[in-house]
């Protein structure tokens, strides 16, 4: 039986007001220094370490940016933004790590020279060095900040969260939340006292060789368990996951173009690919919003479409759990997942009443 298209909640169409009216409290801005401390690590500069057991889903950071600039900002704009900060925030900025190499693009140096109306020749070298230092800090510590509708991207510096080192098997999850204009960091699993809090700077679905290549940007070689013991099986599974994501997105683009001609068989085919990928992700313990969260949501849509309401409700419940754990109840993803669950339950009860 083919049911009519359900009222799918597309999170990109949820407006700020839609989400804001569902929020009752302002989360404030905080870092849970009762849960972690910063200290020097042997090889990775400063890191953040749990000083007590931290349960899965705990929000550890909820931080405002000190600098947030459009994606395309250059060295001059970054430097000017930093110099316009108050003394305390500037101090926090300059204290951050600077690991990236100088950019090969030197066009900004001409722009800097042209922008100055004074004779600065004697201090020009120092000025260029300061710009390069500000840029390297920016490049080392920036977090991506997407607008609510996902149409624009900025880069932000959040000086407390910037102390989080990287792992390809992370135990915390970071994401800029445009609803509350904060970067949030949540525990992805139960974290034991003494463990370092590690987030992933990159898409963890890539195999080791690709992850290493991307991580060169930050000037280090990752020593996490996935990179140090690159087990062929694990790498193969990550590659499989990456390929399945590509397949799912290709099928989805094809469906959008041929919506009216898309048959039940094709919906079932897509559901099969999604279910396979979900199984692999569950096995790998990749339980983030960008991996399992996205797939559960896609799976619910397909399962409802071909009349597998029980599966749809099961996955929608899991999607709600994942969004709550990774992003919290004040995220649009959580709100959308709850609405998806209500929709799936609604379709299920309507079917039960009919039969």
- Least Å distance between CB 177 and ligand SAM? 19
The residue number whose beta carbon is nearest to ligand SAM equals 45
Binding part of the chain for ligand SAM, among 66-74, 214-222, 269-277, 342-350 by CB under 6 A, reads 214-222
Closest CA to 83 of 162, 137, 141, 144: 137
Residues 220-279 that bind ligand SAM (CB under 6 A): 220, 222-223
Between 166 and 338, CB nearer to ligand SAM? 166
Report the distance separating Cα 143 and Cα 175, nearest Å.
Answer: 8
Cite the beta strand spans of 148-281 per DSSP E.
153-157, 165-166, 172-177, 182-187, 196-199
Determine if 141 is a binding residue for ligand SAM (CB under 6 A). Answer: yes
| Residue 165 Cβ vs ligand SAM, minimum distance, rounded to whole Å | 3
In angstroms, what is the minimal distance from the CB of 95 to ligand SAM? 8
Asked whether the beta carbons of 180 and 25 are under 8 A apart, the reply is no
- 127 vs 202 by CB, closer to ligand SAM: 202
Considering only residues 151 to 170 of the shown chain, the ones binding ligand SAM according to CB under 6 A are 162-163, 165-166
Beta strands in the chain (DSSP E): 30-31, 36-40, 46-50, 59-63, 67-70, 143-146, 153-157, 165-166, 172-177, 182-187, 196-199
Of 6, 27, 45, 307, which lies in the binding site for ligand SAM, with binding defined by CB under 6 A? 45
Member of 136, 140, 270, 331 binding ligand SAM (CB under 6 A): 140
User: What part of residues 46-75 is at the interface with ligand SAM (CB under 6 A)?
Assistant: 46-47
What are the distances in angstroms from CA 202 to CA 42, 91, 210, 215? 23, 28, 10, 8
Q: Does 218 bind ligand SAM (CB under 6 A)?
A: yes
Quick one: which of 6, 27, 57, 219 contacts ligand SAM (CB under 6 A)? 219
Residues in contact with ligand SAM, counted by CB under 6 A, come to a total of 19
Cβ distance to ligand SAM smaller for residue 188 or 303? 188
CB of 216 to ligand SAM, least distance (A): 10
With a CB cutoff of 8 Å and minimum separation 6, the contacts of 294 are none
Show contacts with ligand SAM in window 88-117 (CB under 6 A).
96-97, 99
Report the alpha-carbon distance of residue 17 to residue 329 in Å, rounded.
Answer: 15
Task: Please state, in angstroms and rounded to a whole number, the distance separating the CA atoms of residues 171 and 50.
Answer: 11
Among 26, 34, 43, 72, binds ligand SAM (CB under 6 A): 43
Rg for the chain (alpha carbons), in Å?
23
C-beta separation of 325 from 190 below 8 A: no
Q: How far is the CB of 293 from ligand SAM (least distance, A)?
A: 24
Cβ atoms of 351 and 14 within 8 Å: the answer is no
> From the list 8, 23, 44, 127, which residue makes contact with ligand SAM (rule: CB under 6 A)?
44
163 or 301: CB nearest ligand SAM: 163
Enumerate residues 286-325 that contact ligand SAM by CB under 6 A: none
Q: How far is the CB of 146 from ligand SAM (least distance, A)?
A: 19
Contact flag: residue 29 with ligand SAM (CB under 6 A): no
Nearest one of 128, 140, 129, 141 to 66, comparing CA atoms: 141
Strands 196-199 and 165-166, bridge-based pairing: parallel
Q: Taking CB under 6 A as the rule, does residue 135 contact ligand SAM?
A: no
Under the binding rule (CB under 6 A), the answer on residue 211 touching ligand SAM is no
How many angstroms separate the CA atoms of 58 and 286, rounded?
A: 18
Q: Where are the beta strands (DSSP E) in 59-178?
A: 59-63, 67-70, 143-146, 153-157, 165-166, 172-177
Sites of contact with ligand SAM (CB under 6 A): 43-47, 96-97, 99, 140-141, 162-163, 165-166, 218-220, 222-223
């Amino acid at each position: 039986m083919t049911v009519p298209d359900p009222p799918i909640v597309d999170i990109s169409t949820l407006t700020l007001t839609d989400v804001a009216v569902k929020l009752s409290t302002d989360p404030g801005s905080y870092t849970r220094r009762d849960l972690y401390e910063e200290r020097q690590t042997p090889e990775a500069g400063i890191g953040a370490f749990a000083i007590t057991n931290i349960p899965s889903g705990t929000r550890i950071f909820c931080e405002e940016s000190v600098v947030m600039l459009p994606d395309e900002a250059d060295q001059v704009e970054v430097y000017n933004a930093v110099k316009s900060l108050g003394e305390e925030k500037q101090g926090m900025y300059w204290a951050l790590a600077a690991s990236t190499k100088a950019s090969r693009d030197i066009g900004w140096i001409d722009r800097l020279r042209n922008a100055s109306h004074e004779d600065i020749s004697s201090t020009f070298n120092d000025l260029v060095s300061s710009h390069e230092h500000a840029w390297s800090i920016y490049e080392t510590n920036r977090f991506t900040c997407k607008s609510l509708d996902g149409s624009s991207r900025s880069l932000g510096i959040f000086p407390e969260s910037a102390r989080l080192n990287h792992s390809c098997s992370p135990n915390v999850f970071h994401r800029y939340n445009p609803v509350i204009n904060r970067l949030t960091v949540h525990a992805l699993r139960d974290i034991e006292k003494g463990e370092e809090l590690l987030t992933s700077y990159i898409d963890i679905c890539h195999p080791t060789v690709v992850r290493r290549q991307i991580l060169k940007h930050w000037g280090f070689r990752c020593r996490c368990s996935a990179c140090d013991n690159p087990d062929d099986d694990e790498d193969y599974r990550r590659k499989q996951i990456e390929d399945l994501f590509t397949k799912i997105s290709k099928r989805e683009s094809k469906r959008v173009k041929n919506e009216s001609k898309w048959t039940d068989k094709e919906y079932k085919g897509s559901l099969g690919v999604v279910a396979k990928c979900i199984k692999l992700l569950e096995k790998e313990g990749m339980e983030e919003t960008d991996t399992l969260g996205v797939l559960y949501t896609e799976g619910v849509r397909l399962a409802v479409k071909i009349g597998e309401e029980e599966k749809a409700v099961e996955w929608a419940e899991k999607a709600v759990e994942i969004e709550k754990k990774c992003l919290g109840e004040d995220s649009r993803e959580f709100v959308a997942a709850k609405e998806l669950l209500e929709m799936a339950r609604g379709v299920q009860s309507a079917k039960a009443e009919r039969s």
